[in-house]
Amino acid sequence: MLQTGLLKSTLYQILTRSPSLIPRFLPDRWEALCLFGHDDSPWREVELWRAFRLLARVDAAAARFCLFIDGLDEIDGDRTDMTNLLKDVASSKNVKICVSGRPWIVFEDVFKTKPSLMLQDLTHPDIKHFVDSSFHDNLEKREPRYAGRLLKGYSTKGYRSVSVGYFGNSLPTSRTRRCG
């Protein structure tokens, strides 16, 4: 997913729930809408970044936001800029952000002082059960000679990569909720 896609999607969800913020977040688009009834101009990246940064400046009495962003590692572009943007916005008292992604250094550097967990460590038994039940019979039929060794290999090191690649980050999505 492109960074602009994540920003547009998240801003759309926020502004749909809090339309009174549109003039403040997107003043040029709001003016065009008021003057001409529409705005067909293409979205500019700088406009999206500026609007997203304004989340941190919204008065807590007006709105509070809780963002869940899955698949941060699947976003194209400069991940350092994106993670710094999220960290800056999350520094506001009225914005909470929960992100997930592979444990890459760029994310660990930016979020190292924040609470975190390794989901694959918590779901290892479930992943092992899934792999065993899904692949055991098929492997026994196709490769009876090697099935035992292959499945045993998964139980020592393969599950971690399976859990991160398949269970943890299957689709990059954003879900936004307006919090009390």
Residue entry with tokens 């609007």 = 51
Model pTM? 0.66
Describe the strand order of the beta sheet including 65-70 as a list of residue ranges. Answer: 95-99, 65-70, 173-178
What is the tens place of the pLDDT at every residue in 1-27?
Answer: 688 899 999 999 999 998 999 999 999
Does an H or E element contain 99, and which? Answer: strand 95-99
Torsion of CA 20, 52, 26, 46, to 10 degrees: 180
Tokens standing for residue 24: 């403040």
Report helix, strand or coil for 136.
Answer: helix
Q: In which residue are the tokens 């039929």 written?
A: 141
Reported as a single tens digit per residue, the pLDDT across 85-117 is 998 998 888 888 888 888 888 888 888 888 888
The 10 Å Cβ neighbour count of residue 26 is: 21
pLDDT at 1: 64
Residue 164, pLDDT > 50, answer no
Give the pLDDT confidence score for residue 114 in this predicted structure: 82
What span, in angstroms and rounded, lies between the C-alpha atoms of 141 and 150? 13
From residue 73, give the alpha-carbon distance in Å to each of 11, 34, 48, 107.
Answer: 20, 38, 20, 9
89, 53 Cβ separation under 8 angstroms: yes
CB 9 within 8 A of CB 39: no
pLDDT digits (tens, 9 = 90+) for 28-80: 999 999 999 988 899 999 999 999 999 888 886 778 889 998 888 888 888 88
Question: pLDDT band for position 160 (50/70/90)?
Answer: very low
Q: With bands split at pLDDT 50, 70 and 90, how would you rate the model's confidence at 138?
A: confident
Q: How many CB atoms lie within 10 A of CB 120?
A: 19
Q: Give pLDDT, residue 176.
A: 39
Dihedral of alpha carbons 32, 7, 68, 83, sign: negative
Q: Counting beta carbons within 10 angstroms of the beta carbon of residue 68, is it exposed (0 to 12), middle (13 to 18) or buried (19 or more)?
A: middle
